[in-house]
Structures are given as structure tokens and as C-alpha cells.
Amino acid sequence: MKKNCIVIGSGFSSLSAACYLAKDGWDVSIFEKNESVGGRASQFIKDGFTFDMGPSWYWMPDIFDKFFADFNKQTSDYYQLDKLSPAYKIFFSDDVITIGDSMDKICEEFERIEPGSSKALKKFIDKAQENYDIAINKVVLRPGLSPLELVTKETILKVDQFFKTISSQVRKSFKNPKLISTLEFPVLFLGAKPSKTPSFYNFMNFADFGLGTWHPKGGMYEVIKAMESLAKELGVTIHTNSPIEHILVDNGKATGVSCNGKIHTSDVVLSGADYQHSESLLEEKHQQYSKGYWDKKVFAPSSLLFYIGFDTKLINVEHHNLFFDTDFELHAQEIYDDPKWPTNPLFYANFPSITDESMAPKGCETAFFLVPIATALEDTEALRNQYFDIIIDRFEKRTDQDIRNNIIFKETFCVNDFVERYNSYKGNAYGMANTLTQTAFLRPNLRSKKVVDLYFTGQLTVPGPGVPPALISGKLVSELIIKDN
């Protein structure tokens, strides 16, 4: 008789786990609180404009390839993938750096900024590639059950890199502040300050410069749709508009869930929802982690997001744009060290319709602006509008264009929405930061220590924040469930 598993949530990690379990012969049902699948990788469509509400960077294409290959599929079976050229632009107060689609182009740009720096860059990226191979093929494929998982012949030789930081490593090789910011930027995907992130994680620089930045035609939600299609092909049942009220436990074993007033039984319960929220669905005696535990953890930032439809095409920008024309260190401090609304925020601007005409009406532009902010901040309409004015003033100045009168509509999303829509702890956008004390076995466990047959997946557990790690998290937990059963 088939074993069955209920999966809570339908983000990347949940869909990944559901697919692997179904492939192994399990009867899998997904329960999603919102009206459509995707979790934080939702999609918003209005007046012909298409927005990815969450993740918008497609990095580490090899991880996506490996996921689909595990089911004898290819990404091209589901969506068209294009490499962006250039990958992105970084706007500083007195210059703009363009990151090309090859190492040769990137080296040329580094030379323009700091003569002689391309030699140091090649050496830096070579080391980052070594770390990438170890991380992706060794470290992140472990379920985080024991510190011994980190001990391999490869990691032993790199052990010093777990006690040095990205920031110190970058500054050792580069002196120009613009190049330093450029090389420290990818670590922000891991949710922590470069000065708090182990230098081993420079493998993100190889993901950036070595593997490039890609775009699925139609947006990142096409990947979610692909995984949803695959899950259904494998026999997974998906229920939307189905918030879970309780995880049911009998004699210390998970036995199912209650949803919309009905009981649904199962052999195993797996939650891909926010970890802290997932545990709140249990009686306190069955929770592994206290309120004090979560309060002490370093969370990745929240975000203030703007989804805007413009009735004109924009100039002097690319698909991805970073605005580092203010104090990088100050903004980081105001996220992690002294949480407050930022004095002068860095921000990110994404215009997918520049390279993908399907994402906006003809002659128009789809725009997504993101300001990283601390979690648990006061979130009001007035503050959202205040920061919109701040970033649009700077955007117009840096890109030499007036755009306010071309706005058809503007929608916002911030701390309160992360809590309400995704049950996100303190309104975090990216989960728990990958600091040294929050890496691998030091993160919340994939398997409950208190309830048999209860498991967790997603960016608050192993391996950590980001879309590729979420795919891997789903695979890891599915392997653990299969092994235990």
C-alpha cells in the first residue's frame, strides 16, 4: 500500500520535495494557503503587465538542470531560458559598472575601474569556482544532521575559509570601493553582511561571473509552473485556498492536518511553510524551538517592493540594475546592527520587459523596485510612499529621465504583507541568514526532534536562502523521509 505525505505550502522547496516523493511512489497532497502555487515566488498580473512578486534572479542554472534531469526532463521541456547580456548594471554616485555575460567582458570593466585588477579577479574567481564545486557537489547535498557532514578531504583544506569573511577576502585583493561593492553584492543573496559571511561562500561570485545571469521567458514564475506541471504529471494533488489550522499529533507522531475545518490524515507531514509558523501549528510541547530561539537568530532582510506599470519604454537601464550610489555599510548596519528604516537606502530595479516583450504591453515597461530593510519594522502607507519618493528621485537623477508622469499604476508589498500572505516570521523576505553559526547542522533541522514523521523544508532550514538552495532542500528532505520510511 502506498505511503502518503501531506506537504504544507507550495514554494520551490515544497514542490521539489513533492516531486521526489511522488517519483518514489508516494501519494502526495500539497495544501497551499493562497489562491495559487508558488509561495514567495508568486506572480502578479495587471492590465497586461506581468510581475514576479518574489525571486527575479535566475542564477546557478546547473541546479535547475539537475532537478529536472532527476525526472528525465530538461528545463527546455517547460520554459525558454535566455542568458542576459549584459547581466546587470551597478549605479554608483559617479560611475556605472556594467557586468557583461563573459569573464573577458567583466575583466575589461574591472581594468577600466582599477588597472591591473583583472589579474586579481581571475585568481579570485578561480578560487570561487573551486568552492562552488565543493559546495554544490559535496556540502549542500548533506541533510545537516551532524557536524561531521562538513568534514571531507576537500573542506578540511578549506577550513580557514569558514573563519575568515567574504569582506576581508575581497579587501585583501581589491582596493577600489566600487569593485569591492561589486564583489560583495552576491553574498547579499545569502541574507547576511559580507563582514559576517564565511569567505567559503565566495562561490556565489562564481555563480555570478562564471555561470552568468539568465531569464526564463515569461518570468521566474514559469519555473514554478514547470514544477507544478511536473508534480501533476507525477500524480501530486494540489489544493489551493487551503490554509492549515493545526498539524495533528497522536502519541508523538504526526498523523495529518486540519484545514478549512476538515481533518486530512497522512503517514508523514512535511512543511515548506515558514519554519516558525509551521511549529506554531503544533501544541507547545511538540515545538522544538522557543520564541527566544527565533528572537536570537539573524534573519535575512525584509523588503519594500514596488510593482509599477509604465506607459513608456525606459532608457539607460538594463534588465537588472543595482543602485549603490549611497553608503553600502550604513545601509547594512541599519538592517542588521541597529534595525531601522534606512537613512539613504540602496535599492534594486528590475525591468524584465527590456529583454522579454511578453511581460508588458507594447511600448510599455514592467518595473519592480526593491529596497532591502530590517525585519519587524513599522510598516505604514506613509512610510512606503516616503521611500518611493526617495528612490524614484534618485532613479531619475542617475538614469537621466523623468518617469513619474508615465506611471499607470503602482502596487506595494512590505513587512505586513510578508506576514499576512506568507506567515513570514517578523516579515522576513529571504529566511535565515547563512552566517557561520547558522550554517549546515547549526540551522533548524529538516526532521523534527519531538514529533515522529514530521519534517520541514525551505529557506529557514538546510541549506539556506535562495531559489537553488530551496530546490536542494526539497530533495534533501525527500531523501530523509524515504530513508526513514
Do 356 and 391 belong to one domain?
A: yes
Tell whether 167 and 235 lie within a shared domain.
Answer: no
Grid look-up 526532463 returns: 73
Instruction: Tell me which of 182, 210, 238 is where a domain ends.
Output: 210
C-alpha dist (Å) from residue 94 to 89, 156, 397? 14, 43, 12
Domain end (from 164, 185, 210): 210
Rounded mean pLDDT, 164-173: 87
Enter the pTM of the model.
Answer: 0.95
Asked if the structure places residue 97 within a domain, the reply is no
pLDDT > 70: percent of the chain: 94
Q: Indicate the burial class of 24 (C-beta count within 10 angstroms; 0-12, 13-18, 19 or more).
A: middle
Q: For residue 231, is it within any domain?
A: yes
Structural domain tally of the chain?
3
Q: Which CATH number goes with the domain that contains 162?
A: 1.10.405.10
Which pLDDT band holds residue 157 (cuts at 50, 70, 90)?
very low
Q: Supply φ then ψ for residue 90, to 5 degrees.
A: -120, 120
Structural domain includes residue 51: no
Confidence category of residue 252, pLDDT binned at 50, 70, 90: very high
In a domain, 78, yes or no: no
243 Cβ partners below 8 Å, 6+ apart? 31, 33, 259, 260
Instruction: Pick the most confident of 94-108, 167-181, 197-211.
Output: 94-108
Q: Quick one: average pLDDT of 309-330?
A: 96
pLDDT at 431 over 80: yes
Give the confidence band of 441 by pLDDT, cuts at 50, 70, 90.
confident
Question: Which of 190, 210, 230 is the C-terminal boundary of a domain?
Answer: 210
Assess whether 21 and 114 both reside in one domain.
no
Q: How confident is the model at residue 155 (pLDDT cuts 50, 70, 90)?
A: low
99 in a structural domain? no
67 within domain boundaries: no
Q: Do 400 and 451 sit in the same domain of this protein?
A: no
Whether 356 and 397 map to the same domain: the answer is yes
The pair phi, psi for residue 372, each rounded to 5°, is: -70, 135
Position 75 in a domain: no
Cα–Cα distance, 214 to 417 (Å, whole number): 28
107: cell is 575583466
Cα–Cα distance between 157 and 406 in angstroms, integer? 55
Bridge partner residues of 97 (DSSP) = 90
- Considering the domain architecture, whether residues 205 and 239 belong to the same structural domain is answered as no
Beta bridge partners of 262: 259
- Pick the range with the lowest mean pLDDT from 42-51, 135-144, 324-333: 135-144
Does residue 153 share a domain with residue 248? no
Considering the domain architecture, whether residues 190 and 224 belong to the same structural domain is answered as no
Same domain, 453 and 479: yes
Q: How confident is the model at residue 201 (pLDDT cuts 50, 70, 90)?
A: confident
- Cell output for 52: 514576479
Does some domain include residue 401? Answer: yes
Range of the domain at 188: 109-210
For residues 282 and 322, state if they share a domain. Answer: no
* CATH assignment of the domain containing 467: 3.50.50.60
One domain, residues 441 and 409: no
**Co-location of 226 and 189 in the same domain:** no
Look at residue 202 in the predicted model and tell me its pLDDT: 86
Interval 340-364 mean pLDDT: 97
